[in-house]
Amino acid sequence: MARVEGKVALVTGGASGIGLSSARLLAKEGAKVVIADFNVEGAQQAAAEINAQGGEAYGLFLDAGDESSIREAVEFTVKHFGTITVLFNNVGLTNLQKDLDVVNMDLMEWDRLMNVNLKSVLLGSRFAIPHMIEAGGGSIINTASMAGFTGDSIRSAYGASKAAVVNLTKYIATQYGASGIRCNAVAPGLILTPAAKNNMPPQVLDIFAKYNKLPYHGEPDDIGYTVLFLASDESKFITGQTIQVEGGHYIANPSIPDFADFMQ
């Protein structure tokens, strides 16, 4: 039997990158999938590819910053596939121009990122949970980020929103575990999505590579397989956790090279 046979998944931000990889892998392993994205053409194209390979998928417009749009995506999933048992709250935004340090950041951008990155997780879960309870359980997976575990010179709103996603994950797991609903998050380090590849100069990628403990970059499928695992019953005793998928980038004490120099 396929790994998520019989499950019904809604993947937000599924037209590209991490969401697209996850939607493809969930469909390949037997789930029915709704791919919801601002980029509706991309979502529909991804669904068409899945359907052409014998899977079952729909592509749908979603604005993750809008409550009624999130509600409609959940209702669409239930209407077309009868239930929703996997929710991947994956949409997240960052803005290097406006999301700056605490003194200089644009407060409208703070509100926008909190709305899209954090409130969308609350709302998607709020609308899906009653259906999951009716179905006898489900798995909610949220995309956090390693930026939620560290400090940075800029991206204060992004980091704070992702840290809040990590903790909201525990609250959802605590509140609905008794109904058989699990809630976990995945925290990616740098993942070479098409957007990351196109937007980052090679020098920036080299800096990342220098601090990875593994000699390669992360790819969308590295997150997709983690999402597949968390969606499947293979992870049925895991809840409230955030799995860090980051190539060991953040695991070591950063002062080690200085101590190594000192010891010599």
Ligand X SMILES: NC(=O)c1ccc[n+]([C@@H]2O[C@H](COP(=O)([O-])OP(=O)(O)OC[C@H]3O[C@@H](n4cnc5c(N)ncnc54)[C@H](O)[C@@H]3O)[C@@H](O)[C@H]2O)c1
Name the residues annotated as catalytic: 158
Q: Residue 159, interface with ligand X (CB under 6 A)?
A: no
Residue 16 in contact with ligand X, rule: CB under 6 A: yes
109/95 Cα distance (integer angstroms): 8
- Residue 16 CB, nearest approach to ligand X (Å): 3
DSSP state of 150: S
Other Cβ atoms less than 10 A from the Cβ of 193: the count is 20
Give whichever of 27 and 135 is closer to ligand X, judged by the CB atom: 27
Using CB under 6 A as the binding rule, whether residue 190 contacts ligand X is answered as yes
Of 38 and 76, the one with the shorter C-beta distance to ligand X is 38
Among 159, 188, 224, 247, binds ligand X (CB under 6 A): 188
Question: What are the residues facing 187 on neighbouring strands?
Answer: 244
Per CB under 6 A, 160 contacts ligand X = no
Establish if 227 lies at the interface with ligand X (CB under 6 A): no
- Residue 89, interface with ligand X (CB under 6 A)? no
> Does 39 help bind ligand X (rule: CB under 6 A)?
yes
Q: Could you give the angle at which helices 17-28 and 40-52 cross, rounded to 10 degrees?
A: 20
Residue 242 host element (H or E)? strand 242-245
Radius of gyration of the chain (CA): 19
- Contact status, residue 245 vs residue 188, Cβ threshold 8 Å: yes
Residues in contact with ligand X, counted by CB under 6 A, come to a total of 27
Binding segment (CB under 6 A) for ligand X, from list 58-66, 79-87, 103-111, 128-136 = 58-66
User: Which DSSP letter does residue 16 get?
Assistant: S
Report the distance separating Cα 46 and Cα 63, nearest Å. 18
Q: Compare residues 135 and 190 and give the one whose CB is closer to ligand X.
A: 190
Of positions 62, 73, 132, 173, contacts ligand X by CB under 6 A:
62
Q: Which residue matches tokens 């200089």?
A: 104
Pattern 105-134, ligand X, x by CB under 6 A = -----------x------------------
Q: Would you say 2 or 204 has its CB closer to ligand X?
A: 204
- Contact assessment for residue 42 and residue 49, using Cβ atoms and an 8 Å cutoff: no
Q: Are 13 and 37 in contact (CB under 8 A)?
A: yes
Residues making contact with ligand X (CB under 6 A) = 13, 15-19, 37-39, 42, 62-65, 90-93, 116, 143, 145, 188, 190-191, 193, 195-196
